[in-house]
Amino acid sequence: MSRHQNIGTGRAAANMALIKYWGKRDTQLYLPTTGSLSLPLTQFVSTTTCEASDDGDVLYLNGVKATTGQHQKAWRVIQQFRALTGQQNSICVRSHNNFPTAQGLASSASGLAALTKAANQYYGTKLAPHLLSMIARQGSGSAARSIERGIMLWHKGRHRDGIDSYAEPIQNSHAILQKLQLAFVTILTPATEKDVSSTVGMRLENYPRSIYNKWVRQNTKDLKEILEAFHQLDLPRIGDITERNFMRLHLLIESAHKPIRYWKEDAPHILGRIRAMRQSGLPAWATMDAGHIVTILTTRTASITVASMCEDFGTTIIHDLTQK
Ligand code: DP6
């Protein structure tokens, strides 16, 4: 029987999907309709603590008491530890992000992954990373890919109970990242919080079935191809698949019965600039999650030039993906 610690702490980096997750085949267990693949946003980190509370369950996000929606995600994670350990005492969760939240920056991914790690320490459960990934998945799908750093593959899985749907680094992940010397550049531009959350935006009933099924087939194909490209260290191919994958996601989202748009007006200009950089020989490919922030996949060597060429759009942040 595990015993809880006085305080549990967890840290996790956000992640950016190169092959996107968009839709659940099981909305209770958070089982995806396709596999997905991401790289860590190493500069965007959440730190979370869990400790006993005399005041009922409570959650603070960046020092502010959280709303019910944010509560639900966190409590789906805590609930699993309570079920595992039988410990029902009230707890206080404090989570800090060192980056802006709810702008398509997967703050829930790093936050819930950090919470899962903190709870693993607090409850003394000592679960292996793939089990933590399964727990984090049920807080927020993309959190499954933030338990570990690396080229993270979230398996779609086949089982109904979700036992085979977790994320893990691909084989030789660290060596591949070292060889490719990859980096991300994120361009932070001001915006209000997005109006349609990913959870709502990805509901299958939002989309004409044939269009959604076509996206599933294409996403599955993109995943297979990008895995090959990583193992062959073929950066231009990785970049091309990344860019087309995000564009197809946004086309799908715009083809919803009630179209949703996460892009902001400056996005086409940023994408045009990235294309021009590529034409001039720089390795640079764009991707966007369900938000307006553009992230550029590039190399460490090119990242400084790429960042400086985008400074007129917003604050640029370089993420070195060779860091462990
Ligand atoms: C566009 O993981 O935030 O970033 O599972 O409902 O919490 P829930 O959704 P979430 O969706 C992320 C969608 C995405 C693509 C991706 O990260 O793969």
Q: How many Å lie between the centroid of ligand 1 and the Cα of residue 197?
A: 9
Assess whether the C-beta atom of 197 lies below 6 angstroms from ligand 1.
no
> Angle CA(236)–CA(238)–CA(239) in degrees, nearest 5?
65
Residue located nearest, by CA, to atom 7 of ligand 1: 140
- Residue % of the chain over a pLDDT of 90: 82
Assess whether the C-beta atom of 291 lies below 6 angstroms from ligand 1.
no
pLDDT tens per residue across span 109-138:
999 999 999 999 999 999 999 999 999 999
- Tokens 């970049």 correspond to what residue? 239
Tell me yes or no: is domain 176-320 CATH 3.30.70.270. Answer: no
**Residues sharing a CB contact under 8 Å with residue 263, sequence separation 6 or more, in sequence order:** 250, 288, 292
Query: Residues 258-277: what's their mean pLDDT?
Result: 91
What is the position in ligand 1's atom list of the atom closest to the CA of 104? 4
Distance of CA 1 to the CA centre of its chain: 33
Assess whether the C-beta atom of 36 lies below 6 angstroms from ligand 1.
yes
Name the residue among 141, 136, 91 with its Cα closest to residue 114.
Answer: 136
Strand 36-52, strand 294-299: pairing: unpaired
pLDDT tens per residue across span 145-203:
999 999 999 999 999 999 999 999 999 999 999 999 999 999 988 776 667 889 999 99
Q: How many Å lie between the centroid of ligand 1 and the Cα of residue 323?
A: 24
* DSSP summary character for residue 170: P
Q: How many Å lie between the centroid of ligand 1 and the Cα of residue 208?
A: 20
pLDDT of residue 194: 65
CB 144 within 8 A of CB 166: yes
Helix (H), strand (E) at residue 103:
none
Q: 306: alpha, beta or left, given left = phi > 0 and alpha = psi -120 to 50?
A: alpha
Alpha-carbon span 161 to 28, nearest angstrom: 10
Assess whether the C-beta atom of 21 lies below 6 angstroms from ligand 1.
yes
Q: How many Å lie between the centroid of ligand 1 and the Cα of residue 3?
A: 33
pLDDT of residue 67: 75
Q: What distances in angstroms separate CA 129 from CA 126, 156, 171, 246, 252, one per listed residue?
A: 9, 17, 15, 28, 32
- Tokens 């989202």 correspond to what residue? 253
Query: Residues 196-216: what's their mean pLDDT?
Result: 95
Could you tell which of 21, 77, 147, 263 is best to mutate to test the pocket of ligand 1, judged by most ligand atoms within 8 Å of the CB?
21
Assess whether the C-beta atom of 107 lies below 6 angstroms from ligand 1.
no
Beta bridge partners of 168: 153
Per-residue confidence band for 262, with pLDDT thresholds at 50, 70 and 90? confident
Alpha-carbon span 242 to 295, nearest angstrom: 11
Higher-pLDDT residue of 32, 101: 32
Please tell me whether residue 183 adopts helix, strand or coil conformation: strand
Count of beta carbons in the 10 Å neighbourhood of residue 136 = 33
CB 37 within 8 A of CB 152: yes
Q: How many Å lie between the centroid of ligand 1 and the Cα of residue 32?
A: 10
pLDDT of residue 291: 82
Assess whether the C-beta atom of 289 lies below 6 angstroms from ligand 1.
yes
pLDDT of residue 190: 76
Where exactly are the structural domains of the chain?
A: 7-174, 176-320
Residue 296 has pLDDT above 70, yes or no: yes
Assess whether the C-beta atom of 20 lies below 6 angstroms from ligand 1.
yes
Tell me yes or no: is domain 7-174 CATH 3.40.50.300. Answer: no
Q: How many Å lie between the centroid of ligand 1 and the Cα of residue 314?
A: 24
Number of H helices, E strands in the chain: 9, 13
